[in-house]
A and B are shown apart, each in its own frame.
Chain A
Amino acid sequence: MAGISRDEVLHVARLARLELTDEEVGRFQEQLSEIIEAISKVSQLDLSDVPPTAHPLEIANTWAEDEPRPSLTLDEVFANAPDRDDGYFRVPPA
């Protein structure tokens, strides 16, 4: 299952919301194919009885009490905003 087709590159880029130029599609197809071939190596191991590790630390139940803390000021909220409309973030129509 090594390699990745041009269509798969486009599909993955769409899923990740990345616009790609034609040149990029070609270049990434080549590079990603090589990388995917290398990482496909993981399938060589027999892992039938091995549980997954999602996290290197085996801890549980770290949570916070339900006590409010101050929110940001509107100046802070919008300090880096590309576009603002009164108290709202403004974006092109979704």
Chain B
Amino acid sequence: MIDTLRLTAEEAWRLVDGREISGAELFAAYAGREDDLHAYLHRCDDPGGDGIPIAIKDVIGTKGVPTTAGSKILEGYVPVFDSTVASRCKQRGLRLLGKTNTDEFAMGSSTENSAFGPSRNPWDPTRVPGGSGGGSAAAVTGGLAPWALGSDTGGSIKQPSALCGNVGLRPTYGTVSRYGVVAFASSLDQVGPVAKTVRDCAFLYSIIAGRDENDSTTVEVPTVELPGAEDLTGVRIGVPKEMNEAEGIEPGVSAAVRRAIELAESLGAEVGECSLPRSVEYGVACYYLVAPAEASSNLGRYDGVRYGLRSDAADFREMLMQTRHDGFGDEPKRRIMIGTYALSSGYYDAYYGTAQKVRTVIRREHADVFESFDLIVSPTSPTVAFKIGEKVDNPLAMYLNDLLTIPSCMAGLPGLNIPCGLSEGLPVGLQLIGPQFSENTLFRAGHALERALGFDSVPERLR
């Protein structure tokens, strides 16, 4: 009997390699599990191959398999080409279990913005799994996939991993190809792994990372080292004051993170306080200018001409406007309008231009901190998973959910979420952030802490 709730990808790989189970059996164990979390938008038949199964977020293009980005405007769209990450997974024999739910065009923090209905948190199905990659996070924790790919623009991998109690990496910008990934905000979007353990996360990252000639913004990546060390000797960990004392961080979240930091110190880390005042103060505002501006342009291609929804109308312009009205949900509409506004003549300098300068401030502030520290830590999300419906009518409150994940995304830095305890019976996520290309450091620290924390990633109600 395969326990999909507990089996790690590493262990699954070993079992398949050792012929203790077949790849087909393994695939069937996940595929046969009922998706009562609505983690998937589309499930696949076993394509065969010699690798283990994987779930892929529905913004990531998969040849011959529907890719909707959680939007009605792409309902029924089936790509004729693979994204680079999907094709790298295929080359390693990974078998596609299905496409996971996402906020529409990855815009959101709860998957409630999916045109096809929200996903549910495996710890408490009345709560959100986070977003936008709530489907991938829920699938991994809910035993519906051993691991998954997500995409992260301002926290869409890390925050759902925090809320679902698993491990998620947002890689350094430029290490993973965006080719074939439905674009939200091109200077921020990064694909990354979601897994049960840091080692699984590192391994999946090693499969997808690296320069891609189809994505001009990718670079060569340092060789990925699977972490083994269980101590943190010599690792300098900074605790940014503003990110650990921000208004809105729940006391239970604070407490769990504090305990994890103390544990790090006991493992040999040198822990010290640091400060990122402007990054935290202005990060969200900066993000909600830059990301919508890029999105407003990226979403222009949904025009009813070559693919996707087309509404009937007498002339092209009317067809275009009606198609976009009917096809986009409220959140893309809001962001398209904010972004269009921020770029429009007369407002560019005050909004988009200023945001780009703030981005420089954020980068510099982080660079300064990494002069003294190898990585910094904070809660990933200020809160544990909230109730479905609790924040849908207040977009601004929803945006503040990403307060702690956004600054490092703006700076292009890698961030790892690991679960560090429970608050009110729900997982709390610890965020580790390092300088560019420091994934190996994050894996090492994350792995040591994971071992020491001994967090049981199976939701209590499912044990």
Q: Do A and B bind each other?
A: yes
Q: Given the complex of chains A and B, what is the CA–CA distance between A47 and B421 in angstroms?
A: 40
Does A50 contact B357, Cβ atoms closer than 8 Å? yes
Partner of B310, one of A17, A21, A82: A82
- Chain B residue with Cβ nearest A65: B213
Q: For chain A residues 34-60, which have a beta carbon within 8 Å of chain B?
A: 34-36, 38-45, 47, 50-57, 59
Does A89 contact B306, Cβ atoms closer than 8 Å? yes
Q: Given the complex of chains A and B, what is the CA–CA distance between A34 and B338 in angstroms?
A: 11
Indicate whether B187 reaches chain A with its CB closer than 8 angstroms.
yes
Quick one: CB contact mask for A61-86 with B, threshold 8 Å, 1 for yes? 01110000000100010011111000
Q: Given the complex of chains A and B, what is the CA–CA distance between A24 and B213 in angstroms?
A: 42
Does A1 contact B350, Cβ atoms closer than 8 Å? yes
Indicate whether A22 reaches chain B with its CB closer than 8 angstroms.
no
Q: Please, which residues of chain B bring their CB within 8 A of the CB of A16?
A: 296, 300, 324, 336-337, 340
Q: Given the complex of chains A and B, what is the CA–CA distance between A31 and B159 in angstroms?
A: 24
Indicate whether B26 reaches chain A with its CB closer than 8 angstroms.
no
Q: Given the complex of chains A and B, what is the CA–CA distance between A41 and B218 in angstroms?
A: 32
Q: Please, which residues of chain B bring their CB within 8 A of the CB of A64?
A: 213
Quick one: which of A12, A16, A20, A36 has the most chain B CB within 10 A? A16
Partner of A15, one of B188, B217, B319, B344: B344
Total number of A residues with any Cβ neighbor in B under 8 Å:
53
Q: Please, which residues of chain B bring their CB within 8 A of the CB of A63?
A: 216
- Looking at chain B's contact residues, is the secondary structure mostly helix, strand, loop, or mixed? helix
Partner of B341, one of A36, A42, A79, A93: A36
Partner of A38, one of B78, B355, B396: B396
Does B337 contact A57, Cβ atoms closer than 8 Å? no
Q: Given the complex of chains A and B, what is the CA–CA distance between A79 and B63 in angstroms?
A: 12
Does A39 contact B337, Cβ atoms closer than 8 Å? no
Q: Please, which residues of chain B bring their CB within 8 A of the CB of A35?
A: 288, 334, 338, 395-396, 399
Q: How far does the Cβ of B42 sit from chain A's closest Cβ, in whole Å?
A: 15
Q: Given the complex of chains A and B, what is the CA–CA distance between A1 and B218 in angstroms?
A: 38
Does B321 contact A19, Cβ atoms closer than 8 Å? yes
Q: Given the complex of chains A and B, what is the CA–CA distance between A82 and B304 in angstroms?
A: 7
Does B78 contact A79, Cβ atoms closer than 8 Å? yes
Does B317 contact A82, Cβ atoms closer than 8 Å? no
Indicate whether B219 reaches chain A with its CB closer than 8 angstroms.
yes
Q: How far does the Cβ of B223 sit from chain A's closest Cβ, in whole Å?
A: 19
Q: How far does the Cβ of A16 sit from chain B's closest Cβ, in whole Å?
A: 4
Known: A15-B340, A52-B356, A52-B357. A92 touches B315 (CB 8 A): yes
Which stretch in B6-14, B129-137, B234-242, B359-367 binds the other chain? B359-367
Indicate whether B455 reaches chain A with its CB closer than 8 angstroms.
no
Q: Given the complex of chains A and B, what is the CA–CA distance between A9 and B333 in angstroms?
A: 11
Q: How far does the Cβ of A87 sit from chain B's closest Cβ, in whole Å?
A: 13
Does A18 contact B337, Cβ atoms closer than 8 Å? yes
Q: Please, which residues of chain A bring their CB within 8 A of the CB of B396?
A: 31, 34-35, 38
- Chain A residue with Cβ nearest B410: A56
- Chain B residue with Cβ nearest A78: B306
Known: A8-B341, A45-B358, A56-B173. A39 touches B351 (CB 8 A): yes
Does B285 contact A51, Cβ atoms closer than 8 Å? no
Partner of B359, one of A44, A52, A92: A52
Q: How far does the Cβ of B212 sit from chain A's closest Cβ, in whole Å?
A: 10
Does B187 contact A17, Cβ atoms closer than 8 Å? no
Does B359 contact A53, Cβ atoms closer than 8 Å? yes
Q: Given the complex of chains A and B, what is the CA–CA distance between A36 and B399 in angstroms?
A: 13
Q: Please, which residues of chain A bring their CB within 8 A of the CB of B341?
A: 4, 8, 12, 32, 36
| A residues apposed to B, CB below 8 Å | 1, 4, 8-9, 12-13, 15-21, 24, 28, 31-32, 34-36, 38-45, 47, 50-57, 59, 62-64, 72, 76, 79-83, 89, 91-94
| B residues apposed to A, CB below 8 Å | 76-78, 80, 173-174, 187-188, 213, 216-219, 278, 281-282, 284-286, 288-289, 296, 300, 303-310, 313-322, 324-325, 328, 333-334, 336-338, 340-342, 344, 350-351, 353-361, 363, 395-396, 399, 410-412, 436
Cross-chain pairs A/B with CB under 8 angstroms, 8 sampled: A38-B396, A39-B351, A41-B281, A53-B356, A79-B307, A80-B307, A94-B315, A94-B316
Pairs of residues from A and B, 6 with the lowest C-beta to C-beta distance, nearest first: A56-B412, A80-B307, A52-B356, A19-B325, A82-B310, A94-B316
